[in-house]
Amino acid sequence: MTVLRVQGVSKAFQGIHALGDVGFEVEERQILGIIGPNGAGKTTLFNAISGTLRPDSGQVVLDGHDVTGDPPHRIARAGMVRTFQLMRPFRSMTVLENVCVATMSHTAAHREVVSGAAEVIERTGLGRWRDTPAGELPTAGLKRLELARALAMRPKVLLLDEVLAGLVPAEREPLLDLLAALREEEGLTMLFVEHIMAAVMRLSDRVLVLDQGRVLTIGTPGEVARDPRVIEAYLGEEPTGAEA
């Protein structure tokens, strides 16, 4: 079953085309990796489908409903939630309080808010930091908090923007295991932008490659890794750094 369909999405800034006729579909419980050189349009694509930016043209259909151009809070309530590479917690609030705020998106009952937030905190491995102010967390803890806040909103589709950035290999592996478990055990559908190719190839069912704002190709990790166009445009580089 198709849970997300993006069709002909384009976006330009002062005449410069950041996205051009981008289209793809994501099935329920599928993980779609999105890669491409810096400036390829990956973050712009996330912004356009999650409501941060309104596409100039095209359509975004979530679970059968047209959400094109809807504001982020409405799209989140419809079931699509994103994380950000630059984490934005309430730094003076504890981990529990941060996740409680997100939990309030679907319930106002205090007991349910706290119990729901506590469950997500344990699920994401944040238990030891439950009562710690978010501003005191290390990078690995902040990444997990960003994920926990998104999960607390009970998404059908989760957009992950460089969730592994800034983590050392020993911190990446448990997080990759958690993402795989969320798909297998809870049926979560995910799209993730990532520069760490080993993680993309390990986690993705399919990989979409963007180049200069357009879809270069989409296929299985093996198909994409063997595509000469992808090798020339991206895999021949040593991809590092953040999306412009």
- Is 85 a member of any domain? no
**Could you give the C-alpha distances from 238 to 27, 210, 230, 244, in angstroms and in order?**
30, 16, 13, 16
Asked if 140 and 167 count as a contact pair (C-beta separation under 8 A), the reply is yes
Q: What does the block give as tokens for 82?
A: 């994103």
pLDDT-derived band at 235 (thresholds 50, 70, 90) equals: low
**Could you give the C-alpha distances from 146 to 76, 114, 140, 171, in angstroms and in order?**
15, 17, 10, 15
Q: What does the block give as tokens for 171?
A: 């911190």
- Is 207 a member of any domain? yes
Q: Is the pLDDT of residue 240 over 90?
A: no
Predicted pLDDT at 23: 97
Least confident of 49-63, 76-90, 108-122, 128-142: 76-90
Q: List, for residues 143-168, the tens digit of each pLDDT value.
A: 999 999 999 999 999 999 999 988 99
Q: List, for residues 179-198, the tens digit of each pLDDT value.
A: 999 999 989 999 999 989 89
144 φ/ψ angles, rounded to the nearest 5 degrees? -70, -35
Q: For residues 243 and 146, state if they share a domain.
A: no
Boundaries of domain holding 112:
91-154
Predicted pLDDT at 236: 60
- Is 182 a member of any domain? yes
Predicted pLDDT at 243: 40
Whose CA is closest to 70, among 61, 96, 164?
61
Q: List, for residues 28-65, the tens digit of each pLDDT value.
A: 999 999 999 888 999 999 999 999 999 999 999 999 99
| Gyration radius from the chain CA atoms | 18
Predicted pLDDT at 244: 34
**Region 68-78: what's the mean pLDDT?**
94
- Is 84 a member of any domain? no
**Domain tally, the chain:** 2
Per DSSP, the residues of 187-229 read: --EEEEE-S-HHHHHHH-SEEEEEETTEEEEEE-HHHHHH-HH
- Is 218 a member of any domain? yes
Q: For residues 71 and 131, state if they share a domain.
A: no
pLDDT-derived band at 90 (thresholds 50, 70, 90) equals: confident
Torsion angle defined by CA atoms of residues 170, 219, 161 and 130, in that order, rounded to the nearest 10 degrees = -50
Beta bridge partners of 211: 214
